[in-house]
Amino acid sequence: MEAVHVENLSKIYRRGDTTTVALSHVDLTVDRGELVAVLGPSGSGKTTLLTCVCCISEPTEGIIEIDGIRIYDNGWTGVDVRAMRRQKMGVIFQAYNLIPFLTVLENVELILTLNKFSRRESLEKAMWLLDYLEIAHRWHHYPTEISGGEQQRVAIARALANDPAVLLADEPTAALDTERGKSVMTLLRRLSREKNTAVIVVTHDKRMVEGFDRIYQIADGEMLNGKNSHDVELVTSLHL
């Protein structure tokens, strides 16, 4: 089943007489349980694509459907995008972006509370997720009191708390060393299977995309067709 369907998506920024085409007629489809990477260098348009799929930035043109719900239709949105993000999406940030004044447990509970889970349900589910990601022993610590790798696990737990149809990860390994980065990618792969979630990872690091179901190459706002991970060497050598 398609979790994300992007069709003919364009994003054009206009400032005075200057026009910048950030995305041009991009198509992207990701099924539930699928792990997909969007690979591209700095300035290629991958974060713009993420902001459009994440319903933060309205596209100039094109269609976006999340879990079968059409959000943008030629630049128009007919749904509450915040509610959409709250209920259908999970986001993992490059800098983790944990709320610093909440404990590890509260950071995970927050999204559940926003989704009107009861106090008891939120607590149980948050603890289960922390346990699942092997970070439960740190539940009472504040983000500044744990390591970068641990913070990223908490961020993943938070992103999973609402059982999202799609998990969007923005450079999730950028702040980690190679070994920890690979371990996060392995975790994301496991999650996509076990949670039946579509995972889209935006990254510029080709070393991290090994074992992905599909890899989309993006350059100058234009998307190449999705490749299997073993084809990536060829594609990256052509475009990066």
Partner 1 sequence: MNLAVRDIRRHMMRFLLTCVGLGMLLTVVMAMSGIYRGLVADSTRVINAVPAQLWIVEQNTRGPFAENSRLPEDLQYTIAAVRGVRQASPLSYQYVQIPHRGKPVRLMLIGYRLGGLGGPVNIVAGRPILKKHYEIVVDQKSGYSLGEVIHLGLENYSVVGLTKNIVSPSGDPVGYLSLLDAQTVQFQLDNDAIRNNRQRLTATYAPLSRMSSLLGARATRQAISAGENVHFVNAVVAELNPAAQPNEVATHIGRWNHYQVFSSAQESDLLLRGFIEKSKKQLWLFRIILMLVSGVIIALIIYTLTMDKLREIATLKIIGAPDRTIISLILEQSLAMGVLGFALGYLLISQTYTLYPRTVILQRLDMGILLLVVVLVCILSSLLGIWRALKVDPSTALGGGGG
Contacting positions for partner 1 (CB under 8 A) = 40-48, 50-51, 54, 56-57, 82-87, 89, 91, 93-95, 97, 99-102, 106, 109-111, 113-114, 142, 158, 170-171, 174, 202, 204, 218
Quote the least distance from Cβ 91 to partner 1, whole Å: 5
Cβ nearer to partner 1, comparing 10 with 48: 48
Cβ nearer to partner 1, comparing 17 with 150: 150
Cβ nearer to partner 1, comparing 192 with 217: 217
Token pair, residue 164, equals 């999202």
Q: Of 39, 93, 80, nearest to 209 (Cα)?
A: 39
- Radius of gyration in angstroms for the set of CA atoms belonging to the chain, rounded to a whole number: 18
3-state secondary structure of 35: strand
In a 13 Å sphere around the CA of 66, the CA atoms on its Cβ side amount to 28
Quote the least distance from Cβ 54 to partner 1, whole Å: 7
Cβ nearer to partner 1, comparing 57 with 60: 57
Quote the least distance from Cβ 82 to partner 1, whole Å: 5
Token pair, residue 186, equals 């392995």
Query: Is 110:143 a contact under the CB 8 Å cutoff?
Result: no
Cβ nearer to partner 1, comparing 184 with 193: 184
Helix intervals (H) in the chain: 46-53, 81-88, 104-114, 119-132, 148-160, 178-194, 232-239
Quote the least distance from Cβ 59 to partner 1, whole Å: 14
